[in-house]
Structures are given as C-alpha cells and as structure tokens.
A and B are shown apart, each in its own frame.
Chain A
Amino acid sequence: MTSESKVKIALAVNGEPTEIAFAPHKTLLEVLREDLGLTGTKHGCELGECGTCTVLLDGTPVLSCLVLGLACAGRTVRTVEGMAQGGKLHPLQDTFADLGAAQCGYCTPAFLLAAEALLAANPKPTREEIKDALAGNLCRCTGYIKIYEAVELAAARMRGEKAEPTTESLYGR
C-alpha cells in the first residue's frame, strides 16, 4: 500500500509540453511541487480553504490541491514560474515587489495568478471588483491593501498608462 504504479500524462506547463509520470492519487499541487519541482506553488491547508495553491488551469484560476493530476491530461497549467518572461518580471510581479505586496511571500504566487486572471477578463477593475476576485485567497501578512494597490497599478501599466504608486501608499500621510 505504500506504492502503486505511476501513470503518465502529457500536459502543457507554462507553455511547455510536458510529460510526467506520477502516482495516480496525486493532486495537481503535489505533481507540480514534487514531480515537476515547481515549488513556487504553495499550500496552506490542502482542503480548499485558503487559496494558497492557486494555479491557472486553461486560464482559469483553480485550487490545485483539489484538482487531480490525472484530470489535467491535455490541459494547460500556468504557475508563478511562468509569469516572468525572458528574465523580465510580469507587470504584476513588478508592482507586487515595489509596493511590498509580498511580505512573507508565501501567499504571493496565488495572489499573482488570481490577479492575472482577473486582469485578463477585466483590464480595469474597480477596488470592489479586485476584492471580489481575490476573496478566495487568504493573506495573513499584508491586510491585502498593498495587494489591491499593486493590482491597480499593474492594471494601469498593462493598459499602457504611465502610472506610479501614490505617495500615501509609500510614505503614509
């Protein structure tokens, strides 16, 4: 009962076709972290209760701790490792870094991906829409505020606007 034969599937991870063999009861979270070595995807409960394991499955943010690895055959998965391109940070990564939206950084990959999916669907979200879209991700460090600001700033930049952080967010009042 301690081992069972592995199964092999093909999927696309961060744009790369990938073949991977793993024990069939493994979740996508475990496959990514343990079989593909992509440890950027984190976990805080493995029960769907925190959002820390968020990845994009065919572009939709899902909880990788509740997706069976086997169910991902032929699908595309995007993790935080796929966000920076050619050594250049994604605009969301840039603003998260600049504003301190990542404190311990443990929840950050999940927030980044959830935010990326939001901006893909809604390039100019209001603060309320951001709160709604991120309501499935817990962060114990930031109080979310720097995260909202980072998403707003990145959104503006991704729309091609020249946007800078507000002085209040960086220096207080």
Chain B
Amino acid sequence: MLRLPFFTYLEPKSLADALRMKADAGPDAMFVAGGTDLYPNMKRRHQEPKTVISLMGIPELRRVESTTLGACLTLSELTARPPDRLTAAVSTAARLVSTPLLRNMGTLGGNLCLDTRCNYYNQTYEWRKSIDFCMKKDGHICWVAPSSPRCWAVSSSDVAPVMVAIGAEYRLLGPQGERVVPAGRFYHNDGINYLTKQPDEILVDVRIPKPNGWDAVYHKLRRRGSFDFPVLGVAVWIQWNRKTVADARIVLGGVASYPQEVPEAGTALRGGALSDESIAAAAEEAYRPSKPMDNTDFDLSWRKQMTRVYVSRALQQLRDRRTTPGLDV
C-alpha cells in the first residue's frame, strides 16, 4: 500500500487562522483543499510538506454568489449548479475533470492551483530514482529537454484555461492582505514556478465577468472519457457584437506549463463573422505556437496536429450556438 508520509494536519476554521498557521509552520507547510492533487504527490514523495493546512473548514471559501465562486467548492458542486451561460464553460470543464468520485472531492481552487505534470515526475520515488530524478524534484536535468534550463511540466488543469479565456479574476489573501489577479496573470510558463501566487497566499474565490454578450466553450482531448488529464484543452471565449466577433481569446491547456493564450488566433477572428475561413485561420494560428513536449500520453506530433482540429471544433460549437434560436446570450 502506498502511504502518506508523517505530517502534521491542521484544520483552521477561518481565513485568519489559516494564514496564522501557515506563518507559524513556515515554508514546510502547504494548504490542502480536496487533497486529490496534493495527497498523491505526497505519496509519491514529490511534494513533502511537514504541515498540511486544510482549507475545507473555512466557510468563506465555500461561498457562491451570482458571479463569484468560492475556491473550496467541489467540482461536483460547480457542475451541479443549474447551467447558465455564464458558467457553462466553467462547468463543462469541471465536469470533464477525472471521475465523478474525484470531482466529489477535488475543488475549484485546487484545480486552479494544480501542480504541473510530467511523465518523468508523476512517478514514485523509486521510479524517479532509476532515472536519477529530474530538475523538478530531487534532480538536476530535465529529461524532456535535457539541454533546457527550465522544467517543461505541463499545466493540466481543465478549468484554468477557461478562466484565462473568459478573463476571470482570482481573489487572493495573504499576510500582506488581499489582491485581485486576472487569471491570465496567475500562471507562469515554468514547470516549477507555475504560479505567481505566493505559497502563503490563499485563493479565496474567483469572479466570473458579468454577462455582456460573451460566450465560451471548452473542448478536451484525452485517451479515455474519464480519469484522464487533458493532453490538450481548448478554451475559446468570444465577445459577440451581433453576428460579428468583437473580441476573442483562445487558450490552450495541456501544451505548456501554463494555460497558453494564442493572441494571433484571437486576432484572426476579430471583426468578422465566424466563417469557415476565419475558423480555419484561427485554428492555423493556434496550431503554430502549440508546442507539446513528450511528457504526457500520446505522441507529441499528433497532439500538436489536434490543436487545429480541436480549435476548429470549439469555434464551430460557438457558431452553432450563436445561430441556434433561443440560446442567445
């Protein structure tokens, strides 16, 4: 049986308590929500906190208001909300995470702060020992790109690309107080330092932009219909102006160490209707910078090719939805 290492477990009842406990325990402490990311990582010994501070007992983190989603809502709770346009893409993405059992435990906050993943890293200590470890934990080089100075572990959250695409804002609380960060600036393209969040900051909630004619969809590519992380996630956001695209954002998950926005693809759509041509052009733009590495399931050239297909399909869905009567934003 794979077991957790020894650690101290704390259950604060308020944000203030949580911050104080973190301050007391220092850098060896980590927050946990659902634990579906942290605990497997601890069992495989790639994250080794000596103190684990659970956020699940803090009522403030489980609040839902019309456009504000508490970080500790479970993914199941997110998807159980009556579907509305506003959170449709978010709940699609949430529903596509792993399995129903895991979604009953995993939270929105945990999903947005998910550790980056790599086939050389998400392995037991013994396995990693046989490749002499890697830069992300216990070792020195990157096996995916041995000459690279950085780690290329993959951003594997399903919900994060959607948040970046729709321009959500994250509210963080730390010892220095509160700050609000646009989702797009919450992530770094670095497999080791993948968040701009400080370790002692708590993600409190996420604010979804008000409805003003935008729509968004999320498409996920993976081997199986459940369990599997995305090897490609495509989140597309469109600001409609009647039948034309006023603005658009295309964000790719599973291809870089952060949810990667492809601005050129958005530009290709701006100002026109969603025509077959503009869709193809945007898909091509998205395909070009998509640079998956050989550290997930499937071979990387196929994954890259799929960017084109999945971006087109996401855009087609948005177009179909726009032209389906009764579904106007």
Contacts of A27 in B (CB 8 A): 3-4, 39
Q: Is A116 among interface residues, defined by CB-CB distance under 8 A?
A: no
Q: How near does chain A come to B225, taking the closest CB pair, in angstroms?
A: 7
Q: Which of B1, B54, B105 contacts A30 (CB 8 A)?
A: B1
The answer on a CB contact under 8 Å between B3 and A49 is: no
Interface residues of A in 46-61 (CB under 8 A from B): 46-49, 51, 54, 60-61
Interface residues of B in 1-25 (CB under 8 A from A): 1-9, 11
| Subset of 24 A-B contacts with CB under 8 Å | A24-B6, A24-B8, A25-B5, A26-B4, A27-B3, A27-B4, A27-B39, A30-B1, A47-B40, A49-B227, A60-B76, A63-B105, A66-B40, A67-B35, A67-B105, A68-B35, A71-B56, A114-B101, A132-B100, A135-B99, A135-B225, A135-B227, A136-B99, A136-B227
Q: Is the interface of B mostly helix, strand, loop or mixed?
A: loop
By the criterion of a CB under 8 Å from any partner CB, how many residues of chain A are at the interface? 31
The answer on a CB contact under 8 Å between B100 and A25 is: no
Q: Is A70 among interface residues, defined by CB-CB distance under 8 A?
A: yes
Contacts of A67 in B (CB 8 A): 35, 105
Given contacts A27-B4, A30-B1, contact A62 B9 (CB under 8 A): no
The answer on a CB contact under 8 Å between B101 and A51 is: yes
Interface band, chain B: 20 to 34
CA distance A61 to B39 in the complex (A): 18
The answer on a CB contact under 8 Å between A54 and B54 is: no
Q: Is B85 among interface residues, defined by CB-CB distance under 8 A?
A: no
Q: How near does chain B come to A48, taking the closest CB pair, in angstroms?
A: 6
Q: Is A133 among interface residues, defined by CB-CB distance under 8 A?
A: yes
Q: Which of A24, A49, A63, A114 contacts B9 (CB 8 A)?
A: A24
The answer on a CB contact under 8 Å between A25 and B101 is: no
Q: Is A1 among interface residues, defined by CB-CB distance under 8 A?
A: yes
Q: How near does chain A come to B59, taking the closest CB pair, in angstroms?
A: 16
Contacts of A54 in B (CB 8 A): 101
The answer on a CB contact under 8 Å between A47 and B2 is: yes
Q: How near does chain A come to B38, taking the closest CB pair, in angstroms?
A: 9
B-facing mask of A12-45, CB < 8 A → 1, else 0? 0000000000011111001000000000000101
CA distance A24 to B52 in the complex (A): 11
Q: Which of A1, A23, A60, A135 contacts B226 (CB 8 A)?
A: A135
Other A-B contacts than A48-B102, A135-B226, A136-B226, 17 sampled, CB-CB below 8 A, are A25-B3, A25-B5, A25-B7, A30-B1, A61-B100, A62-B104, A63-B101, A63-B105, A70-B9, A71-B9, A71-B11, A71-B56, A114-B100, A132-B100, A135-B225, A136-B98, A136-B99
Contacts of A168 in B (CB 8 A): none
The answer on a CB contact under 8 Å between B43 and A133 is: no
- Which A residues are within 8 Å of any B CB, using their own CB? 1, 4, 23-27, 30, 43, 45-49, 51, 54, 60-63, 66-68, 70-71, 114, 132-133, 135-137
Identity of the chain A residue whose Cβ is nearest the Cβ of B226 in the assembled complex? A135
Identity of the chain B residue whose Cβ is nearest the Cβ of A118 in the assembled complex? B100
The answer on a CB contact under 8 Å between A51 and B99 is: yes
CA distance A51 to B104 in the complex (A): 12
The answer on a CB contact under 8 Å between B6 and A46 is: no
Identity of the chain B residue whose Cβ is nearest the Cβ of A3 in the assembled complex? B6
CA distance A20 to B39 in the complex (A): 22
Contacts of B9 in A (CB 8 A): 24-25, 68, 70-71
CA distance A27 to B36 in the complex (A): 12
Q: Identify the interface centre among A25, A45, A61, A133: most chain B CB within 10 Å of its CB.
A: A25
Identity of the chain A residue whose Cβ is nearest the Cβ of B1 in the assembled complex? A46
Contacts of B5 in A (CB 8 A): 25
CA distance A66 to B39 in the complex (A): 6
CA distance A30 to B36 in the complex (A): 16
Contacts of A62 in B (CB 8 A): 101, 104-105
